[in-house]
Structure 1
């Protein structure tokens, strides 16, 4: 018995197959095509949405948007790779109707339509809302670090610049001493000629001037660091304790179908100060009167939590636990119990700590209240495990601790609900960064990065909607919507 054989390559068919037959009816490219076709590119403010009467005709922005959406859905983000796919990938050939834009045209489209790409993401969010895919009752908020198009080598802090300049000064001094020694030595014994040494000294002085210019820029702007390739990016620590030049992407995900509702690109390395902002934005997007918000301890800030409660947003946020100087878990701050009646703290050894003084700052006034009992600490057998201070242990009670205690109790009572946080939002980051390889940015500057992450999040929501509703149902709804718009 022979093998299954294909058709002869030089065989001529009297009735050639339709090109459309190569694409299955439920292929996602048909959904991409149908979705983009019903978009109003002029309303979304895409460049070249209206053709000019002069010059060579441009590519339709719809075709380039289709190409990018297909690419991000299939782990292809590079403009050069997308150019290659347009020549060899039958799905892309079908999608673009055999158009073959070059990589420069593809890259320019993403560069010139940063805000428009964000608008497409928001438009799809509204479409998912029309399809009742958002629960609009509970959301999870978290930030993820994505590496910027800027190496650590091209990121400079004040201390790093000082080290570089000091090294250059020492190197120049060494070369000058070598020149003096070389004048007295025999020519045959010299390692470098005088001209070569002078050339190296000049190179070092040029580098020094560059570093001094960076120092001036930091002094003028008041910033702590400067990135030379992508000026908006900042050095950040990720969850694996690796330090990289990155952006922090604040993301809001709805609990019902794990769809992304909103996002914001920030240059702040931590999440403090973002909870109330992102929660209020989500409330506005949904048009909801009340909302429940899940967030990790990185968002635990009294001012933000108070703003959420004032706006009828119920936050479930785990509290920060601070260690003591010795690192002994039995003597962390959460092991000290506050007695509201006596207004004292009870330490793990059973001793009472009394109010000593207010802790204040010039800008914010009273920050908290310090409690201590140095007499009890002096004779305590656990002192070495509790603190490294010779005087004894002190505890600071936050000025809004009574309010924070209600938030802690609320989170503890709803622990099962809070435990859904990771299931809701971490899956999004895992899919985009690990599954689709979008753990680094290809573009530079904050605005461009926002457009790029909008494409990633649009692709994620697109894939989720297909999984939830199915290809047939989505195509049906899109076609009905298009017919209504035309009719």
Structure 2
């Protein structure tokens, strides 16, 4: 007869504590230790006295952080783990909140998630894991939890709105002919006050409807006027309201999704069909040091250029100061960003878009490029290869969306007639004209000196390792490539939990 080890399911066995089954340096223990060290007053303040006792917020926070570190993002899956997974059962102290309670707690964190995250950052600073010395800034696009085909484009809505305005004006002219009272209903005076190209507002259309109703009260049998009144109420007014609501949602963006108004359509690196399809998403900006996430912000902008200043301002507001050096790629290299870094007296190691391009020998030695033309500062003019002077002919000021004012100067060659280098120098029969930003060139020279220094070369090499490793863990190892919640506030909760989980998981690895 074969022999087997004892198998008795009803037998009481030791140990009886869940803790005895968990290794000493397990991640769940580190999550427990870190959360116990945090000041969670903002989280506690959300609870009121009286009523049915709630699950302890500290326990709920531990469960949320640990679940995100285990690639468990669904509230139903978290609830399932609390019943079946010994690590979850231990950190929850045997509590088993259902998925509705878990989801409600997560959504209620929208006003405190950043407080909790920066408490963890302050703990990292206190424990000497980070020093706020070198701040590596980069962004990634994460797809929103929205339908890919529910797009609304600013340009299209603007075209529809202009066509509707023309339709309104034509109807009003026809109504004026019907009632034979010029300008009594037509809003010509209002349009002249706001400008010829201004849009007709919903309030103005409502005023037209009231005026038509008054006319119908005096002459209720006028069929033509009745038809116009019906069209204004059933078609024109609802469409005008719809367009104004869309313009309010855009807030300077080019697009939004009908199923997530805060999401903007942008190109993603994950392009399974290889057709460059735009998808609704968010631009997530993070800053790292020693591969810990020190700060994060969520933006609707597809490009990184306009995100640096808001991101650093938010970081300074939260931490009370900024890191010593800012390291970023060419997506952030703009005059406005360089000026901000110089104003804050920060070490600038931010590339500009032609940093690597101008290092190539063929571009560095090309005598026709604007950057290579000799400039005489005393007389404010350039000299071309043929010895001709490019004289200053004027300048133009530009104002960015953030209100930053910049200037571009224009220079034109005095005479290109008979120049032996004309075919290589320009593509037109007119005298060559160039545009120059002296301030931007000065800032780029400073940035280039920093980037080409020994320290700059080290930081440039380190940037790729720093930020991309964090994105690799979250998007690759933890398979987080699409948000599960909708709306900017809820998206911030998800990314905040991911950032906290990442930092604590790295602490666990470093011991």
**Relative to 1, partners in 2 of residues 1:467 and 1:315: Cα closer, same or farther, differing over 3 Å?**
same
**Relative to 1, partners in 2 of residues 1:282 and 1:333: Cα closer, same or farther, differing over 3 Å?**
farther
Q: What SS does structure 1 have at the residue aligned with 2:480?
A: coil
Aligned-pair CA distance for 1:274: 3.4
**Relative to 1, partners in 2 of residues 1:353 and 1:290: Cα closer, same or farther, differing over 3 Å?**
same
Aligned-partner Cα distance in 2 for 1:104–1:33: 23
**1:295 aligns to what?**
328
Aligned-pair CA distance for 1:434: 1.6
Aligned-partner Cα distance in 1 for 2:457–2:427: 35
Aligned-pair CA distance for 1:394: 3.5
Aligned-pair CA distance for 1:377: 8.4
Aligned-partner Cα distance in 1 for 2:148–2:279: 6
Q: Does 1:244 align with 2:279?
A: yes
Within the candidate set 470, 473, 477, 1:435 is matched to 477
Answer yes or no: is the 8 Å Cα contact 2:308–2:337 preserved in 1.
yes
**Relative to 1, partners in 2 of residues 1:11 and 1:387: Cα closer, same or farther, differing over 3 Å?**
farther
Range with bigger deviation, 207-216 or 444-453: 207-216
**2:185 aligns to what?**
none
**Relative to 1, partners in 2 of residues 1:105 and 1:6: Cα closer, same or farther, differing over 3 Å?**
farther
**1:215 aligns to what?**
243
Within the candidate set 97, 101, 105, 1:101 is matched to 97
Q: What SS does structure 1 have at the residue aligned with 2:305?
A: coil
TM-score, with length taken from structure 1: 0.74
Q: Does 1:65 align with 2:61?
A: yes
Answer yes or no: is the 8 Å Cα contact 1:45–1:116 preserved in 2.
no
**1:20 aligns to what?**
19
TM-score, with length taken from structure 2: 0.70
Q: Does 1:408 align with 2:448?
A: yes
Within the candidate set 277, 297, 305, 1:264 is matched to 297
Aligned-partner Cα distance in 2 for 1:227–1:108: 25
The 5 A counterparts of 1:157-176 are 157-160=153-156
Aligned-pair CA distance for 1:462: 0.6
Answer yes or no: is the 8 Å Cα contact 1:149–1:442 preserved in 2.
yes
Aligned-partner Cα distance in 1 for 2:65–2:269: 29
Aligned-pair CA distance for 1:397: 0.9
Q: What SS does structure 2 have at the residue aligned with 1:135?
A: coil
Aligned-pair CA distance for 1:291: 0.9
Aligned-partner Cα distance in 1 for 2:5–2:415: 92
Number of equivalenced pairs? 417
Aligned-pair CA distance for 1:128: 0.8
Q: RMSD in angstroms over aligned alpha carbons?
A: 3.7
The 5 A counterparts of 1:67-82 are 67-82=63-78
The 5 A counterparts of 1:17-416 are 17-45=16-44, 47-48=46-47, 52-55=49-52, 57-160=53-156, 214-219=242-247, 223=252, 224-239=254-269, 243-254=278-289, 257-279=290-312, 281-282=314-315, 291-321=324-354, 336-341=372-377, 343-345=380-382, 353-361=390-398, 367-373=407-413, 375-376=415-416, 383=423, 389=428, 391=430, 394-400=433-439, 401-413=441-453, 414-416=456-458
Q: 1:386-432 CA distances to partner (integer Å, 9 max, x unpaired)?
A: 66555465331114132332223332233333332222212111211
**2:504 aligns to what?**
462
Range with bigger deviation, 456-465 or 155-164: 155-164
**1:481 aligns to what?**
none
Answer yes or no: is the 8 Å Cα contact 2:118–2:318 preserved in 1.
no
Q: What 5-or-longer segments of structure 1 have no aligned partner?
A: 166-205, 471-487
Aligned-pair CA distance for 1:47: 3.6
**1:198 aligns to what?**
none
Q: What SS does structure 1 have at the residue aligned with 2:416?
A: helix
Answer yes or no: is the 8 Å Cα contact 1:305–1:315 preserved in 2.
yes
Range with bigger deviation, 281-290 or 24-33: 281-290
Aligned-pair CA distance for 1:458: 0.3
Q: What SS does structure 2 have at the residue aligned with 1:113?
A: helix
Aligned-partner Cα distance in 2 for 1:99–1:73: 20
**Relative to 1, partners in 2 of residues 1:349 and 1:467: Cα closer, same or farther, differing over 3 Å?**
farther
Q: 1:209-239 CA distances to partner (integer Å, 9 max, x unpaired)?
A: 9987543323456644342222212122345
Q: What 5-or-longer segments of structure 2 have no aligned partner?
A: 162-233, 271-275
Aligned-pair CA distance for 1:22: 1.8
